[in-house]
Amino acid sequence: MGERYHRFRLAWPQLLVLGTALWLLVIAIASWQLSLTYVLRPASVTTGQVVAIEPPQPYHSHHAHPDCSQQPCLALTFDDGPNPQTTPQILDILDQEHVRATFFVVGSRVPGQEGLLRRMYRNGNEIGNHSWNHPNLTKLSPEQIAEQVNKTQQAVVAAGVPAPHLFRPPYGAVNAKVQSNIPLSIALWNVDPVDWESSNPTQLTQAIIDQAKPGGVLDLHDIYPGTVEALRPAIEVLKTRYQLVTFSEMMALSPGQPGLYYGR
């Protein structure tokens, strides 16, 4: 009995070391799992609300916002996207030329392209509502008009960016019924080089340059390869003549300010 007890006493320090090591291992594994929770957890957690991810922080230019009542400005606007092929190319050009624009998106085209909207917003571009599936709103009922607006608002917010304050009616079709059922600033245009029917990017570039004017709102589309090709050379000329701004900067609009706006 004494000999067994003696052997136990000799093993006790080893057991103590082994137990301590096991306890430290358990703590290390728990800490590692906790770190994975924070590293691998998505930036968004579904909470039952429409917005499921944290909005990206917008780009803030070191330049002051221009006063378009005192200097020549031109607003670049793009309709009908997002398009997974051409919209990223448009954004690349804007980024490289240090220019911001306004994108009027079709709500049904947003699912699957949420990253493009977040990139637009993050880089200082403005996002507007261009209806859910591009109908002529003057032919719809008030309830249908509201649905076109609301579904697109929800799609944009679900992409992780703020809800638009601007609405551009498809085809520029607006009447008293449309205006009374859209609780957003209605953003039209006064410069249209009809890029949607152009097959010659060089001619389109020249049309953009020739038609541009101080206080102009230029209506383009970020879904056509020809517009992509024409854009950079046009911007390089326009930058020497105008401050290139977003629609809201051009009009000095507060969010949701009612009314129809074409240009200065």
Catalytic residues: 79, 221
CB atoms within 10 A of CB 162: 13
Strand partners, 76: 218
The candidate with the shortest Cα–Cα distance to 189, out of 129, 263, 85, 95, is 263
The candidate with the shortest Cα–Cα distance to 223, out of 132, 140, 138, 109, is 109
The candidate with the shortest Cα–Cα distance to 174, out of 136, 144, 148, is 136
Contact criterion met (CB below 8 Å) for 109 and 81:
yes
CB atoms within 10 A of CB 50: 12
What is the secondary structure of 214-248 as a DSSP string? TTEEEEEETT-HHHHHHHHHHHHHHTTT-EEE-HH
194 phi/psi in degrees, rounded to 5: 45, 55
160: left (phi over 0), alpha (psi -120 to 50) or beta: left
CA atoms within 13 A on the CB side of 24: 6
Element (H, E) at 87: helix 87-97
Contact criterion met (CB below 8 Å) for 116 and 153:
no
